Chain A
């Protein structure tokens, strides 16, 4: 079945450091890929998405590129801020008859210190 694997956390960085959170996936066909963010005590917000190979999703300084050859969708940000502290989830939607379903990774806790 479909699966998503994220790098182990938690990740602790100083403000203005470079961020990478690795995400790899297993899926049949051509899934769409997503990054969601969850701030403390809140629900999930879509951060960015990509629907086909080589697409780059971007939002709020975060970027991720859909790499079909390596089945990856790594999240990057050049300079993190304290306000980026949150839990980040990589997810996929397999499409077809599975449009209504998302498969999530286990989440990566990011803490950014001043």
Chain B
């Protein structure tokens, strides 16, 4: 099992450029989410999805778009990159099972620098 795969691992963008961060999971998890990690602020939720075709905003959604056309994929699009979006981005997938079982799996992250 690959788990949660994020690409690319590193990216440098110029201000105003657009790009898509890819996230794929092979565990058939129903939930997927995107976080950004900034020093001293922990991880903050950008967008999440409770299933194919259903997405919602998290704590810091401005400047980012998502869609979920399949269970496996949850790409994050930066529409017009800004230096404030320099961060490390993590994708996660999760499940809930009857009886209270929980599981979250994180990808290895994408380090994005906007100059």
Query: Do these two chains interact?
Result: yes
Q: Which residues of A line the B interface, CB within 8 A?
A: 4, 32, 34, 42-46, 49, 51-52, 89, 91, 93, 97, 99-107
Which residues in window 67-100 of B have CB below 8 A to A? Answer: 90, 92, 94, 96, 100
| Residues B31 and A99 in contact, CB atoms below 8 Å apart | yes
| Residues B90 and A107 in contact, CB atoms below 8 Å apart | no
A44 to B28, CA, bound (A): 20
Instruction: Kindly supply a per-residue 1/0 record for chain B positions 12-51, scoring 1 wherever the CB is within 8 Å of any chain A CB and 0 otherwise.
Output: 0000000000000000001111010000111111001110
| Residues B45 and A42 in contact, CB atoms below 8 Å apart | no
User: What is the interface residue range for chain B against chain A?
Assistant: 20 to 34
Residue of B42, B106, B107 with most partner-chain A CB within 10 A: B42
Chain B residues positioned under 8 Å from A45 (CB to CB):
106
| Residues A101 and B90 in contact, CB atoms below 8 Å apart | no
Distance in angstroms from B72 CB to nearest chain A CB is 15
| Residues A101 and B45 in contact, CB atoms below 8 Å apart | yes
Chain B residues positioned under 8 Å from A4 (CB to CB):
42
DSSP majority for the B interface?
strand
22 contacts between A and B (CB under 8 A): A32-B102, A43-B90, A43-B106, A44-B43, A44-B90, A45-B106, A46-B104, A97-B50, A99-B31, A99-B96, A99-B102, A100-B48, A100-B94, A101-B45, A101-B58, A102-B35, A102-B92, A104-B42, A104-B44, A106-B40, A106-B41, A106-B42
Chain B residues positioned under 8 Å from A91 (CB to CB):
43
Identify the 9 closest CB pairs spanning chains A and B, nearest first. Answer: A100-B31, A104-B42, A43-B108, A106-B42, A104-B43, A44-B106, A99-B96, A100-B48, A43-B106
Distance in angstroms from A109 CB to nearest chain B CB is 10
A46 to B4, CA, bound (A): 14
Q: Which residues of B line the A interface, CB within 8 A?
A: 30-33, 35, 40-45, 48-50, 58, 90, 92, 94, 96, 100, 102, 104, 106-109
| Residues A102 and B45 in contact, CB atoms below 8 Å apart | yes
